[in-house]
């Protein structure tokens, strides 16, 4: 008989060099949620993958939340970021991009939930809960001492939101930036253009700290590294990308420190990015001869 897999747990983590009003709630090898404590409210950025994990997160921030209203932000409606929403339903406004509402309850999300439940009973209590407060381009939350500027930054997903805290020059990048590389929504030219525009937008803010939801880094150079990676696919390695072939493997970032599972995931992301770059380089479908 094999033992059931250990249930993942949430760990509260201070972020080296970052103001202690911001900290991570980490589920190892899965995702980081973040907490921003302001004078006027406590913001929970993402609710993790299940209501149980989100309840653990709420227990870990009970001191911060005492006497302050709780606001919840959804960076995007992917399972690892927002399937804990049921734990805060009715307790806090859930803020997200307008297009997250449709994604949260989509046929695709229901299919993912069915598959995840079949594979692991920790998803049994998940309910798909959409944001209750939505916006289109940006939304400012004024916490008194700190401001949270929510920025629509699509490309990883259409509904993606990053958070900029100007007083501390902190960027909570969600999955728009990722170490070693962010995943594109589709392997097409428009996803590539959207994500690189979002990365450019975040880089133009000149953050001192960039906190992605995966990878556990705070390095502001992550934005440049991600941008250089995509630029290399359409620049330096354009010929190899156009040709298909194994040469474009040279562009794949170093993943020696990652688990086999993570490496396989990022390899799939890389192949999607190469497809997107190839479609950008070769343009839309061939024009018929005149």
List residues binding Zn ion (CB under 5 A): 80, 175
Say if residue 53 is exposed, middle or buried (CB neighbours under 10 Å; 0-12, 13-18, 19+).
buried
Q: How many CB atoms lie within 10 A of CB 145?
A: 12
To the nearest 10 degrees (0 to 180), the angle between helices 189-204 and 260-282 is 110
For the CB of residue 80, give the shortest distance to Zn ion in the complex, in Å.
5
By beta-carbon proximity to Zn ion, the closer residue of 31 and 71 is 31
By beta-carbon proximity to Zn ion, the closer residue of 37 and 81 is 81
> For residue 252, what are its two tokens?
């794949």
For the CB of residue 46, give the shortest distance to Zn ion in the complex, in Å.
9
> For residue 17, what are its two tokens?
């060099």
For the CB of residue 264, give the shortest distance to Zn ion in the complex, in Å.
16
By beta-carbon proximity to Zn ion, the closer residue of 49 and 92 is 49
For the CB of residue 290, give the shortest distance to Zn ion in the complex, in Å.
46
By beta-carbon proximity to Zn ion, the closer residue of 156 and 275 is 156
By beta-carbon proximity to Zn ion, the closer residue of 135 and 265 is 265
Which residues are CB-neighbours of 180 under 8 A, at least 6 positions away?
215, 225, 229, 253, 254, 255, 258, 266
For Zn ion, the nearest residue by Cβ is 175
For the CB of residue 177, give the shortest distance to Zn ion in the complex, in Å.
11
Please calculate the CA angle 201-206-187 and round it to the nearest 5 degrees: 35
For the CB of residue 183, give the shortest distance to Zn ion in the complex, in Å.
8
Residue written as token pair 């040279």: 250
By beta-carbon proximity to Zn ion, the closer residue of 156 and 209 is 156
Please calculate the CA angle 102-107-111 and round it to the nearest 5 degrees: 130
Give phi and psi for 287, each to the nearest 5. Answer: -75, 140
């Amino acid at each position: 008989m094999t033992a059931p897999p250990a249930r993942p747990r949430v760990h509260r983590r201070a972020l080296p060099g970052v103001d202690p009003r911001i900290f991570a709630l980490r589920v190892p090898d899965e995702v980081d949620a973040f907490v921003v404590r302001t004078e006027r409210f406590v913001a929970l950025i993402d609710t993790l993958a299940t209501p149980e994990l989100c309840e653990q997160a709420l227990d870990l921030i009970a001191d911060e939340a005492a006497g302050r209203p709780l606001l919840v932000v959804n960076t995007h409606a992917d399972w690892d970021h927002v399937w804990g929403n049921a734990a805060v339903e009715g307790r806090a406004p859930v803020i997200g991009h307008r297009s997250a509402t449709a994604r949260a309850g989509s046929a695709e999300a229901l299919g993912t939930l069915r598959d995840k439940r079949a594979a692991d009973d920790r998803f049994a209590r998940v309910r798909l809960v959409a944001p209750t407060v939505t916006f289109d381009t940006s939304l400012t939350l004024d916490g008194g001492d700190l401001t949270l500027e929510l920025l629509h930054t699509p490309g990883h997903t259409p509904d993606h939101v990053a958070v900029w805290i100007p007083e501390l020059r902190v960027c909570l990048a969600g999955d728009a930036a990722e170490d070693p590389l962010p995943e594109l929504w589709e392997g097409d030219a428009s996803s590539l253009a959207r994500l690189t525009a979002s990365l450019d937008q975040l880089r133009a803010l000149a953050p001192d700290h960039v906190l992605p939801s995966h990878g556990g880094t705070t390095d502001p150079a992550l934005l440049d590294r991600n941008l250089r990676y995509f630029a290399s696919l359409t620049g330096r390695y354009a010929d190899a990308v156009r040709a298909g072939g194994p040469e474009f493997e040279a562009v794949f970032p170093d993943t020696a420190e990652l688990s086999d599972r993570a490496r396989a995931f990022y390899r799939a992301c890389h192949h999607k990015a190469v497809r997107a770059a190839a479609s950008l380089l070769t343009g839309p479908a061939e024009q018929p001869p005149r």
